[in-house]
């Protein structure tokens, strides 16, 4: 399957979605998980942006998030990349941008929050120790 060199992406310089051309990429390892980072050049302002192509970029916008469409964060839940999250303690909305497993076997997610920026959170924490295994 042929991969298009062009994507539509929100350009930080143009402050709007523009057509961008792929100008080179590499696979990088971030916290034990591999991801493909590709440089894209905006066809309008010619600025380049490094974009993680492991995730569909259209799913990563955090500007238009609302509490209604977001899953409230809890350490026992399992999240998917691109999922919208509401962190009630921080009163902040964000989106899962990557997942990885720590050396201790704990599953973690990296969330890009509107106010706090990128934060690492634990997921899929076993509730056995709490004596509460009730799942809804």
Of 5, 14, 71, 116, the residue at the interface with Zn ion (CB under 5 A) is: 14
Distance of CA 97 to the CA centre of its chain: 1
Of 6, 13, 50, 67, the residue at the interface with Zn ion (CB under 5 A) is: 13
Six token digits for residue 50: 């490094």
- For 75, left (φ over 0), alpha (ψ -120 to 50), or beta? alpha
Q: How far is Cα 95 from Cα 71, in angstroms, rounded to an integer? A: 10
Shortest CB 10 distance to Zn ion, Å: 9
- For 111, left (φ over 0), alpha (ψ -120 to 50), or beta? beta
Of 23, 28, 36, 45, the residue at the interface with Zn ion (CB under 5 A) is: 45
Q: Which stretch binds Zn ion (CB under 5 A): 42-50, 65-73, 103-111, 123-131?
A: 42-50
Q: Is 51 in the site for Zn ion (CB under 5 A)?
A: no
Binding footprint of Zn ion on the chain (CB under 5 A): 11, 13-14, 18, 42, 44-45
């Amino acid at each position: 399957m042929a991969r298009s060199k062009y994507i539509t992406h929100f350009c930080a310089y143009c402050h709007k979605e523009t057509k961008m051309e792929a100008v080179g990429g590499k696979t990088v390892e971030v916290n034990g998980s591999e991801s493909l980072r590709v440089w894209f050049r905006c066809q309008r302002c010619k600025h380049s942006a490094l974009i993680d192509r492991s995730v569909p970029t259209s799913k990563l916008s955090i500007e238009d998030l609302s509490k209604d469409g977001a899953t409230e964060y809890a350490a026992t839940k399992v999240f998917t990349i691109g999922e919208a999250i509401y962190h009630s303690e921080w009163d902040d909305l964000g989106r899962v941008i990557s997942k990885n497993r720590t050396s201790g076997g704990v599953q973690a997610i990296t969330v890009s929050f509107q106010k706090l920026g990128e934060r690492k959170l634990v997921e899929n924490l076993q509730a056995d120790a709490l004596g509460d295994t009730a799942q809804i």
